[in-house]
């Protein structure tokens, strides 16, 4: 789940949460609807307009959630683990723990989102057509939900990565060329083109007097442009790690500390002398835990001499990797858990440490040598 998010529920094993930016967009949409409804549906009380706006805004995000659930449930049915769905400023995002390995799987997972939005629009249209929604706030809300789900489907089907339509485009090119990198580059480029077009359109609208709409469109374009470039770089990074083992990048000259030694010894002999910020705590080579500068700072300095390291270390079980593990696995673990380092173990014995600094150094050398 995105940082800064609050977990609300769990559906089909998937955590559902909202990011703090969702509150901002919810307030803006509610306010805009409270202004829009009096123009389209005169004669209600002020309270009715605001209550209808709140309900309509909430149902908009229920629609977004159902859109993302469609992606997630289909992904799970195809063997792709889904960790969470987060509603945020620009809608919703499904956190798949791995990417599809076949173009056909990506096509199905991507296309089901816009199809679900079309289906929702159809359901609300039928409710109105058959007269099941009474006149007044209920009818106004269902009419709004028809329009907004059509717009949601139309926007997401744009063939610019990483929108759903961009993923559909990538899957088609990937299937035709059997080249994921080429497909991603093309789909990302199209995504950036759409991003720049939205930015230009937003600027034009702002200069034409539609300031807020123009700013909002330009912001979406900026986000799409950045997301497309980030997706391209992410694939390059994943491709780079495909044939790299943890043993290639890790530091095998690991400095361990005894759990019974005083904190003062660890600070002076490891942190200060060696310039290390985290130390594995081991006994006869067997990993027991790790101690970081943050752990040490919990104890007053005047107590370091008489306090054993074991009292402050983070104990096993810890996130670890093996020397023969693929680096993509290690990078994913560090990203998911917000870690700066990983102990490298064989069975329960420490054989090295993999730190972000080691990874950055490897990437820098990799790129300077032109190995992309």
Q: How many other C-beta atoms are found inside a 10 Å radius of the C-beta of residue 11?
A: 13
In the block, residue with structure tokens 């995000």: 61
Final residue of a domain: which of 157, 192, 223? 157
Q: Which class for 227: exposed (0-12), middle (13-18), buried (19 or more C-beta within 10 A)? A: buried
Q: How many domains does the chain have?
A: 3
User: Do 152 and 86 share a structural domain?
Assistant: yes
Residues 6 and 241: their CA atoms lie apart, in Å, by 32
User: Do 153 and 302 share a structural domain?
Assistant: no
Best CA proximity match to 199, nearest among 177, 172, 228: 228
Residues 292 and 275: their CA atoms lie apart, in Å, by 12
User: Do 52 and 152 share a structural domain?
Assistant: yes
Q: Is 350 helix (H, G, I), strand (E, B) or coil?
A: strand
Residues 235 and 239: their CA atoms lie apart, in Å, by 6
User: Do 186 and 106 share a structural domain?
Assistant: no
User: Do 215 and 166 share a structural domain?
Assistant: yes
Final residue of a domain: which of 157, 177, 198? 157
- Cα distances from 311 to residues 204, 258, 315, in angstroms, run 62, 12, 10
User: Do 335 and 268 share a structural domain?
Assistant: yes
User: Do 153 and 15 share a structural domain?
Assistant: yes
pLDDT confidence of residue 274: 72
pLDDT confidence of residue 268: 81
User: Do 15 and 126 share a structural domain?
Assistant: yes
Final residue of a domain: which of 218, 241, 264? 241
> Residue 333's domain is classified under what CATH number?
3.10.580.10
Range of the domain at 334: 246-368
pLDDT confidence of residue 44: 93
pLDDT confidence of residue 370: 62
User: Do 122 and 30 share a structural domain?
Assistant: yes
Q: Which residues are catalytic?
A: 68
Mean pLDDT, the chain cut into blocks of 10 residues (372 residues total):
77 88 90 92 94 95 94 91 83 79 92 95 93 88 95 90 90 92 89 92 91 86 87 75 83 81 82 77 83 81 84 80 86 79 86 85 76 54
Contacts within 8 Å (CB) and 24+ apart, 52-55: 52/137, 52/140, 52/141, 53/29, 54/30, 55/137, 55/141
User: Do 213 and 147 share a structural domain?
Assistant: no
Cis bond before residue 278 (omega within 30° of 0) = no
Number of residues that this document lists for the chain: 372
Residues 207 and 162: their CA atoms lie apart, in Å, by 29
Best CA proximity match to 321, nearest among 338, 339, 342, 335: 342
The residues facing 31 across adjacent strands are none
pLDDT confidence of residue 277: 75
Residues 246 and 324: their CA atoms lie apart, in Å, by 6
Query: Contact at 8 Å (CB) between 156 and 113?
Result: yes
Q: List, in sequence order, every beta strand (DSSP E) within the chain.
A: 5-11, 14-19, 82-88, 91-96, 278-283, 286-292, 314-315, 341-346, 349-355
pLDDT confidence of residue 127: 92
Residues 50 and 60: their CA atoms lie apart, in Å, by 15
User: Do 144 and 61 share a structural domain?
Assistant: yes
User: Do 152 and 51 share a structural domain?
Assistant: yes
Cis bond before residue 162 (omega within 30° of 0) = yes
pTM, to two decimals: 0.73
pLDDT confidence of residue 2: 61
């Amino acid at each position: 789940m995105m940082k800064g998010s609050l977990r609300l529920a769990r559906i089909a094993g998937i955590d559902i949460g909202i990011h703090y930016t969702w509150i901002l967009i919810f307030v803006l949409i509610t306010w805009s609807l409270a202004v829009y409804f009096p123009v389209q549906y005169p004669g209600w009380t002020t309270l009715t307009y605001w209550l209808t706006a709140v309900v309509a805004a909430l149902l908009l995000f229920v629609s977004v959630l159902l859109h993302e659930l469609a992606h997630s449930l289909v992904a799970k049915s195809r063997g792709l683990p889904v960790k969470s769905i987060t509603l945020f400023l620009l809608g919703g995002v499904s956190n798949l723990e791995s990417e599809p390995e076949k173009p056909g799987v990506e096509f199905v997972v991507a296309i089901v989102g816009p199809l679900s939005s079309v289906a929702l629009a159809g359901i609300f249209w039928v409710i109105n057509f058959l007269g099941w929604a009474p006149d007044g706030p209920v009818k106004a809300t269902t009419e709004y939900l028809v329009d907004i789900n059509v717009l949601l489907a139309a926007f997401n089907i744009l063939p610019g990565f990483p929108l759903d339509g961009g993923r559909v485009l990538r899957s088609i090119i990937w299937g035709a060329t059997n080249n994921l990198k080429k497909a991603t580059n093309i789909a990302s480029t199209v995504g950036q083109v759409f991003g720049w077009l939205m930015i230009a359109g937003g600027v034009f609208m702002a200069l034409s007097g539609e300031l807020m709409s123009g700013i909002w469109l330009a912001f979406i374009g900026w986000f799409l442009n950045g997301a497309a470039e980030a997706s391209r770089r992410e694939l390059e990074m994943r491709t780079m790690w495909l044939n790299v083992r943890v043993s290639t990048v890790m530091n095998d000259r690991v400095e361990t500390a005894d759990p019974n030694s005083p904190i003062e010894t660890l600070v002076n002999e490891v942190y200060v002398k060696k310039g290390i910020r985290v130390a594995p705590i081991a006994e006869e080579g067997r990993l027991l835990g790790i101690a970081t500068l943050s752990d040490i700072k919990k104890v007053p300095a005047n107590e370091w001499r008489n306090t054993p390291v074991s009292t402050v270390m983070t104990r096993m079980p810890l996130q670890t990797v093996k020397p023969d593990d693929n680096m993509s696995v290690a990078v994913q673990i560090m990203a998911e858990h917000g870690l700066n380092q990983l102990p490298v173990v064989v069975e329960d014995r420490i054989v090295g440490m993999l730190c972000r600094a080691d990874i950055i150094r490897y990437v820098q050398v990799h790129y300077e040598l032109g190995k992309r």
